Chains A and B, each alone.
Chain A
Amino acid sequence: MKKNNAILLSTPYILWMLAFTLIPLGVVAYYALTDPATGVFSLGNLRDLNMYWGVLWESILYSLISAFICLLLGYPVAYFIAHQGAVAQKILYMLVMLPMCMSFLLRTLAWVGLLQDTGIINDFLEMIGIGRMQLIRTPGAVVLGMVYNYLPYMILPLYSTIVKINPRLIEAAEDLGCNTVQVFRRVTLPLSVPGILSGITMVFVPAVSTFYISQKLGGTDTVLIGDVIERQFKQGNNPNLGAALSLVLMILVFVCTGIMNRFGADEEGGVIA
């Protein structure tokens, strides 16, 4: 009886999953494995992927760099928020969330306005005598866009992990002879590992498939896998190759997060200590 109820209650979600996740995945796989012209089974699309390994690698590199910078920027912020009073915590948490309430497209366009050759930053640089610089259409601008857009996804899981660390453990470490730095290295950081891993995952996964950021902020030579996939469906008119690219990307993301979580499981055993 109880079990039946559980099935009944989860039916809408199961149907939803089926209609909008599993079946589309099947469709993607179908397209990826069929010939664009004839529609018969073919590994031709996967063979064509050979041209794009470089792009794929570059996308992963950009995303990892962004995730790493997010970690460096986000950890101190999360640590700081977690050590404030209850009210301050709520306010700061809201402030971190705030940019996420604004449209993703708008946020990225705003950076175009800031970084472009006649943008605010360059106007300012000229005013103080440094002169205009190439800011937009650089790899740095792409990373900046990723970091800016995905930083909250790093801070929030970090914050919720750090805030749960029992303050008595910190006291115990101090009691056993740790100064502030040692407390952090031997206790706080190892206990933050789950938050670090989920933060990296939360930044890495959307960053690796993004296309808008690189299109708006990157130069012509900065082409990410998301852009390539988008092009296959729009200009390229080759949905089969696009599907194959998506499929490979998905598998790679799975492998990456899998490796990371495995690494994390070992980490808990005290590698950092």
Chain B
Amino acid sequence: MSKELIRLQNLVMEFDGERILDDINLYFNDHEFLTLLGPSGCGKSTTLRIIGGFLTPTSGKVLFDGKVINDVPPYKRQVNTVFQRYALFPHLDVYDNIAFGLKVAKLPKDEIDRRVTEMLEIVSLKGYENRRIDNLSGGQQQRVAIARALVNQPKVLLLDEPLAALDLRLRKDMQNELKRIQQATGITFIYVTHDQEEALSMSDTVVVMDKGRIQQIGRPEDIYNEPKNAFVADFIGESNILDGVMLADYKVRFFGRTFVCVDKGFAPNEPVDVVIRPEDIDIVPQSEGHLVGTVTSVTFKGLNYDIIVDFRGFKWLIQTTDFHAVGSTIGIRLNPEDIHIMHKSEYSGMFGDYSSYSAEYDELTEDAGDEEE
């Protein structure tokens, strides 16, 4: 199952003296669905383009099956790419787009025909063979792009924000579809996205990147439950991030109170970042609360209310299914497993305070997905 297929060693990429990738070390296993996740400009697309062969790293090595492939041109790599905005050939119809790679490889005509037909079926585009590309909807173009890459039976499929241009509904469908195709074919998928939900729901492994560096690698559950630093905690889901002091193993102090937690292995009295997920917080009557605060804003989200609660000037985001009016005073309880402790990092103090909260914060993270060069 987990044979190593690709390895990136001390990868550095610079454009005009600006460091885009800073010492990336990463390996990809065969049959794995791995996602590079990060905000715009974090280097995730650059990493993908290096694997695809469109960029040559400034230094470091790209190994494929143990062989260095830094100087192997794209057309000789056993890798195919689904491009951002698809890059379908406008002068060819659906059939010829999908058959492109097979025709270049000079396969016999009947085999090309068989494989293209089979692929059209997999991506549910039967009957669209002779359609022109500009007569297709975004979702259909997307599926042609996937078929065009997959029909070559590559060892690895690179996908560069393939769903970014689709609307929400279609995106969800395509997520399931991609996951299904990946499991059916067993092809290694390396997927680039800025959408944390997409990354968590599809991947076997998630690599969180920022500023050209890998921030954390892990299974989706681990990334979500045990973020390594404030950046990851904030980027993956919502997080309240507080300053704390680790008094001893299983004992952390913040907001003037000592809490029991499940973390250990920190130096005595080490300053730490404490992460508390908005959905883990239990709201209780004032008298029973570990902490008491005042509700300053309420937003109905459908599934729950997002409420902002002021605890001694620090504003928390709490997700609750019960309505609490603005101005009301509530108590909260924190269970030991809801408190996540992280070492201080360069990101400490940058995230996790909801003072500047507005109803648009969701949209702001959505917008981060502009095309990267």
| Chain A residues with a Cβ under 8 A of chain B | 166, 168-169, 171-179, 182, 186-187, 190-191, 193, 268-270, 273
CA distance A209 to B344 in the complex (A): 80
Known: A172-B81, A173-B100, A186-B104. A179 touches B75 (CB 8 A): yes
Partner of A176, one of B73, B93, B100: B100
User: Chain A's nearest CB lies how many Å from the CB of B368?
Assistant: 21
CA distance A27 to B189 in the complex (A): 71
Nearest-CB residue, chain B, relative to A176: B101
Which of B2-10, B82-90, B218-226 touches A? Answer: B82-90
User: Are the C-beta atoms of A178 and B104 separated by less than 8 Å?
Assistant: yes
Chain B residue numbers with a CB within 8 Å of A171 are 52, 54, 74, 81, 83, 87
User: Are the C-beta atoms of A270 and B87 separated by less than 8 Å?
Assistant: no
| Chain B residues with a Cβ under 8 A of chain A | 52-54, 73-75, 79-81, 83-85, 87-93, 96, 100-101, 103-105, 148-149, 152
User: Chain A's nearest CB lies how many Å from the CB of B25?
Assistant: 25
Nearest-CB residue, chain B, relative to A174: B74
User: Chain A's nearest CB lies how many Å from the CB of B78?
Assistant: 10
User: Are the C-beta atoms of B90 and A177 separated by less than 8 Å?
Assistant: no
User: Chain B's nearest CB lies how many Å from the CB of A147?
Assistant: 29
Known: A187-B89, A191-B90, A270-B91. A177 touches B83 (CB 8 A): no
Q: Given A182-B75, A268-B91, output 6 extra A-B contacts at Cβ < 8 Å.
A: A173-B89, A174-B75, A175-B80, A176-B101, A178-B75, A270-B91
Cβ-closest 8 pairs across A and B: A176-B101, A168-B87, A174-B74, A172-B87, A177-B104, A190-B91, A175-B81, A177-B75
User: Chain A's nearest CB lies how many Å from the CB of B82?
Assistant: 9
Chain B residue numbers with a CB within 8 Å of A193 are 91
Known: A186-B104, A273-B92. A176 touches B87 (CB 8 A): no
Chain A residue numbers with a CB within 8 Å of B103 are 273
CA distance A139 to B84 in the complex (A): 53
Known: A168-B85, A171-B54, A273-B96. A176 touches B90 (CB 8 A): no
CA distance A171 to B84 in the complex (A): 12
User: Are the C-beta atoms of A176 and B52 separated by less than 8 Å?
Assistant: no
Chain A residue numbers with a CB within 8 Å of B152 are 176-177
User: Are the C-beta atoms of A169 and B80 separated by less than 8 Å?
Assistant: no
